[in-house]
Copies of this chain bind each other. A is one copy, B any other.
Amino acid sequence: MGRTVRLAVVPGDGIGPEVVAEGLKVLRAVTADSDVAFEETLFSLGAARYLETGDVLTDADLAAVKEHDAIVLGAVGGVPGDPRLAGANIERGLLLKLRFELDHYVNLRPTTLYPGVASPLADPGEVDFVVVREGTEGPYVGNGGAIRAGTPHEVANEVSVNTAYGVERVVRYAFAQASARRGRLTLVHKTNVLVFAGSLWKRTVDAVAAEFPGVAVDYLHVDAATIFLVADPGRFDVIVTDNLFGDILTDLAGAISGGIGLAASGNINPEGRFPSMFEPVHGSAPDIAGKGIADPTAAILSIAIMLDHLGLATEAGRIRDAVTVDLAERGDARRSTAEVGDAIAARLDQ
């Protein structure tokens, strides 16, 4: 009798469904002969569903999603500027709502420059680090407001909320990652300007560091961190940072390591109180949707992160190996989304 994993599938909008299809194809291939079965439930959520029904994410949707062991998400968001979407914020109402409601306090975003992948950097060196981005606090909490909106006297505020509880748990997770990797952790913040939040982050890292004597710790201001990501990405092992800085740094990390088409992520609730969610870092890219040209690699690598999270490290490793070989042999060939998925799935048997 094997194990059954209840998988919520949220393909979303734009290229989301296209890349998720390939991710699931690879998932099915890698588990074909194993004793783990993935039972997929489809959730049609996103801009398209909102336009049809007026709902972004209902309480019933959320309750249903919670009944699963993991979530695979493609991408959400309609065509920018679509007037029919003016009243809704799909990102806040769906993606961020899932991250917050499911307490995904670790947003895990690994960056590897794979052999054979062209980097836009002249001399990237070896790139292999992971960003541990806080996922439930900071400027993302939605604690903003405006007075006198639309007048010359408008004041619009946004509050970044940071708690000892929230910072400590993600910092501890990051140290554990660093311990299991090359033993180097970099805190990124802007402590000289955001003195209260910065001080909390800094003190927390200093305190947790005492529990991990084998991890070397350093600190960079977020502005300086962008310089190092371009000039010396090899210096990084684990970066821990807040929700907004993590958002910015991980797009940049994608850009220096073969593009956002390869950047995978996990929104993780480490204790497993809620299902964790795995998604490519890229968005719904409505401009190329429907053409079958989106690169599904990020979605496929996100499946590998999910398998790791579910304790299926062997299967995760097999996917990464297949992707590594595919990338090395990819060259300039233009393949369709499905062809890339097929090729990676086929390599799993070799």
Interface on A for B, CB 8 Å cutoff?
Answer: 77, 80, 89, 91-92, 96, 118-123, 139-140, 142, 144-146, 148-165, 168, 190, 192-197, 199-200, 203, 219, 222-224, 226-227, 230-231, 244, 247-248, 250-252, 254-256, 259-260
Q: Are B197 and A156 in contact (CB under 8 A)?
A: yes
**Contact A158:B196 (CB < 8 A) given known A120-B230, A123-B120, A244-B190:** yes
Q: Are A197 and B158 in contact (CB under 8 A)?
A: yes
Q: Are A155 and B144 in contact (CB under 8 A)?
A: no
Copies of this protein in the assembly total: 2
Q: Are A226 and B252 in contact (CB under 8 A)?
A: yes
A158 to B143, CA, bound (A): 11
> Closest CB-CB distance, A181 to chain B, in whole Å?
24
Q: Chain B residues with Cβ under 8 A from A197's Cβ?
A: 144, 156-158
Q: Are A164 and B145 in contact (CB under 8 A)?
A: no
Question: A246: nearest residue on chain B (CB-CB)?
Answer: B223
Q: Chain B residues with Cβ under 8 A from A89's Cβ?
A: 192, 195
A313 to B270, CA, bound (A): 59
A186 to B230, CA, bound (A): 22
Q: Chain B residues with Cβ under 8 A from A255's Cβ?
A: 226-227, 230-231
Q: Are B226 and A154 in contact (CB under 8 A)?
A: no
Enumerate 18 A-B pairs (CB-CB under 8 Å) in ascending A order.
A118-B122, A119-B122, A120-B231, A122-B122, A140-B193, A142-B195, A155-B161, A155-B162, A155-B163, A156-B162, A156-B197, A157-B196, A222-B248, A227-B255, A227-B260, A230-B252, A230-B255, A231-B259
> Closest CB-CB distance, A137 to chain B, in whole Å?
10
A145 to B250, CA, bound (A): 28
